[in-house]
């Protein structure tokens, strides 16, 4: 049975003090979520935020990225082993901002998936299309290439640990949101693709999140779709009231 998840990606926001205050507020406002709550603060906050989350059931710590090599002379990078050592349980991989600004390609993302799994953490693997791909109606094929290159080398037992996050790039931080039907269409297409590779049972158990200007107002409708299992939330996760409302929208 697949899990319902709301994951908050804080991106490059909050000082440590602000992050701890935000975490405290979220924990106060969310008593018993219907699914898992994953919080991805900046790297500087991981250990302290993780300690706060650890005392509550259903709350989990995520990193926003990791490096694809285990160790070495890679100044400024953070390895999967380092993340695991401070209690990280999930790692966001392939976010559209990493693909765009840092030119991360599918082979690099596949390597990041591998090191994340090897250290006992779960990848939240992001996929999604830019506006020009959506406009020419080739978005399903575009996303299929991302998934095949980034994930489909995995054995079934490892793939079952992966969470997929569909994020239409044209809807991230723009205030423009895919309709609930557009989200459902793409999530269903992803599930069909997984079924072709790993079988229906695996596809039915795969958690697929929606990311792309999801907020407290539209979350209930989006989450009500049969193939949408929660959300990867950006800006709205920085406001405890909004994040709590989105978590409350889980099925």
What positions carry a catalytic annotation? 95, 167
Angstrom distances, CA of residue 39 to CA of 117, 187, 192, 231, 235 = 19, 22, 29, 12, 13
The CA distance from 191 to 194, in Å, is 5
How many other CB atoms are found less than 10 A from the CB of residue 71?
Answer: 11
CB 122 within 8 A of CB 161: yes
The 8 Å CB, 24+ separation contacts for 106-109 are 106/145, 106/146, 106/149, 106/150, 107/149, 108/68, 109/149, 109/150
């Amino acid at each position: 049975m697949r899990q319902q998840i709301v994951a908050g990606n804080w991106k490059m926001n909050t000082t440590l003090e602000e992050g701890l205050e935000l975490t405290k507020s979220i924990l106060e406002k969310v008593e018993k979520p219907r699914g898992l709550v994953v919080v991805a603060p900046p790297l500087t906050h991981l250990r302290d935020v993780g300690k706060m989350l650890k005392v509550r059931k259903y709350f989990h710590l995520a990193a926003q990225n990791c490096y694809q090599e285990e160790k070495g002379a890679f100044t400024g990078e953070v390895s999967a082993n380092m993340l695991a050592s401070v209690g990280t349980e999930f790692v966001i991989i392939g976010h559209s901002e990493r693909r765009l600004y840092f030119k991360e390609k599918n082979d690099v993302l596949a390597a990041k998936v591998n090191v994340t799994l090897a250290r006992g953490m779960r990848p939240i693997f992001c996929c999604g299309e830019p506006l020009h791909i959506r406009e020419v109606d080739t978005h399903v094929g575009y996303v299929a290439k991302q998934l095949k290159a980034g994930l489909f080398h995995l054995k079934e037992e490892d793939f079952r640990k992966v969470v997929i996050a569909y994020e239409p790039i044209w809807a991230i931080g723009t205030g423009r949101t895919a309709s609930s039907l557009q989200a459902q269409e793409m999530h269903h297409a992803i599930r069909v693709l997984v079924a072709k590779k790993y079988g229906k049972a695996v596809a039915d158990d795969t958690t697929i999140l929606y990311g792309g200007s999801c907020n407290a107002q539209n979350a209930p409708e989006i989450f009500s779709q049969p193939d949408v299992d929660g959300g990867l939330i950006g800006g709205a996760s920085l406001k405890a009231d909004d994040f709590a409302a989105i978590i409350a929208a889980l099925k």
